[in-house]
Amino acid sequence: MLSRELRVIVNKYHVFLKSKITSFLIGYRRKYEKFPMKELNSLSRHHSYNLLSTLIIKGKKVDYVVALKETKTTYNSLKKKINPSYFNPYLRAYLKDANKCKSESDIKIVYKTYERNLDKEFKEMDKDLDFCIRTLKEVNIKLREANKKK
């Protein structure tokens, strides 16, 4: 059983983690909602995409159809992650590990570990959204070039 002072410290760091998640999601949700998913859906039904063969995304050649499918699945997976409840397992695991600690320094070490894990998750989410945006930009560029050649 933790002493009262240690429980206060555990709860303080728990609030820090929750506020870190919330502040990240506020800005991230804005970027996510600006992504033109309607345009992406219309591109998959667009007939001029047959003119496209490959796209170059981050220096890699990718087939147009594969790129659109990957973008859609990535975008849909991000939809689950923009809710704060997605991060509840991180918070529960932190509480479980922090409640086992015997000193304030141990609690701080556990907090830093979970903070790093959250930062990794946030960077991964940013990379996924960046992939979606780059794919859409590349598709639009290639479509404009193909339409000019007509």
pLDDT for 82: 94
> What are the start-end ranges of the H helices in the chain?
4-34, 37-45, 64-81, 88-98, 104-149
pLDDT of the residue at 45: 65
Write phi, then psi, for 104 (nearest 5 degrees): -65, -35
pLDDT at 55 over 80: no
Whether residue 1 is predicted with pLDDT greater than 60 in this model: the reply is no
Residues near 133 by beta carbon (within 8 Å), at least 6 away in sequence:
35
pTM of the model: 0.84
pLDDT in tens, 82-136: 999 999 999 999 999 999 999 999 999 999 999 999 999 999 999 999 988 888 8
State the average pLDDT over residues 45-57.
Answer: 62
Confidence label for 37 from pLDDT (cuts 50, 70 and 90)? confident
Residue 47: pLDDT band by 50, 70, 90 thresholds? low
Tokens of 96: 């479980």
